[in-house]
Amino acid sequence: MSLEQAEPVRQALWARRKMPEPPLEARREGFEAQMSAVPLPAGFSAQTVSINDNVSGLLCSVESVDKSRVLIWLHGGAFVLGSANSYRPMAARLARAANAQVLLVDYRLAPEHPFPAAPEDAAAALDWAVREGFHPQATFVGGDSAGANLALGAVQAATARVESSPVGGVWMISPYLDLTHSGASIEQRAARDPFIDPAGMGDTARRYLGSITPADPRASPLFGSFANFPPTIIQTGGDEVLFSDAARARDAIEAEGVRCVFQEWAGMIHVWPLFAHQIDEGAWAIEQGGAFLRTL
């Protein structure tokens, strides 16, 4: 059963929490090594593309996807780690599920490049899709954890410029949207979440934000405008301290009369679809998120 499959991941995460945090470069190297061990499917391809002078990405595909469709994906990693290369296994699953090419954005990471570097790179990826000739209704934007923050912010910024949705839909997994950390679930679900330690969340935000206040809606897009927002799917684990971020985003989207599919996955941890090669419910969540985008 999937909950039994998740248990070794849980235990490994709890054990890691008891150890001193390694230097950032070691964390980055460890994550890259971990993800490089995940096998890629036959028929997977990826080519490097230039998004602008500051950022590149990997345009990923699997056999038989509709190449007139593109899903721009912003990876997670607390704004400080992760890469397009490490997310290739995830992109393979996303592409097959959504029947679209997937652009993995290698946005600039903090603390070397604090806010607003990453949001600027996310916005540039939407501009890239326009230049490449993708129709707005065949362009989708998504992300997990901190990447969902960047995805949401990019869509809000683009929508504010043109007063209409620049994309056909949005897909957020375990979104981290409120850097003021005001969500009730941070305290209520702390004992259930092996992935995120609330005690370290303040440092995470400061490392990314620099001198910017965490309440700034460009940094915490939960507080931004959802007017003219496109149809959205939000998936969150039932044991996440960030559950309130996901639920409040749903409420804000629905308040604008926009379709929002909200899925709480019982017993699941933060960004469990990243472990789809180990946990059945990770694969199922990706299949359902992709199915939603295929309806748009």
Active site residue 145: yes
The beta-carbon contacts of 197-204 under 8 Å, at least 24 apart in sequence, are 197/17, 198/241, 200/21, 204/78, 204/79, 204/80
Percent of the chain with pLDDT strictly greater than 90: 95
Of 6-10, 37-41, 133-137, 279-283, the range with the lowest mean pLDDT is: 6-10
DSSP 228: T
Split at pLDDT 50, 70, 90, the class of 2 is: low
Find residue 58's DSSP bridge partners: 48, 104
Tens of pLDDT, residue by residue over 3-51, are: 889 899 999 999 999 899 999 999 999 999 999 999 999 999 999 999 9
- Compute the half-sphere exposure of residue 56: CA atoms within 13 Å on the CB side of its CA: 7
- Statement: residue 1 has pLDDT above 50: no
Tens of pLDDT, residue by residue over 152-169, are: 999 999 999 887 788 999
Instruction: Report DSSP letters for 50-80, one per residue.
Output: E-SSS-EEEEEE-TT--TT-EEEEE--STTT
Active site residue 86: no
Split at pLDDT 50, 70, 90, the class of 132 is: very high
Q: What is the mean pLDDT of residues 65-79?
A: 98
- Compute the half-sphere exposure of residue 97: CA atoms within 13 Å on the CB side of its CA: 23
Catalytic-role residue among 61, 83, 145, 165? 145
What letter represents residue 186's amino acid? I
Catalytic-role residue among 61, 240, 244, 281? 240
* The model's pTM: 0.97
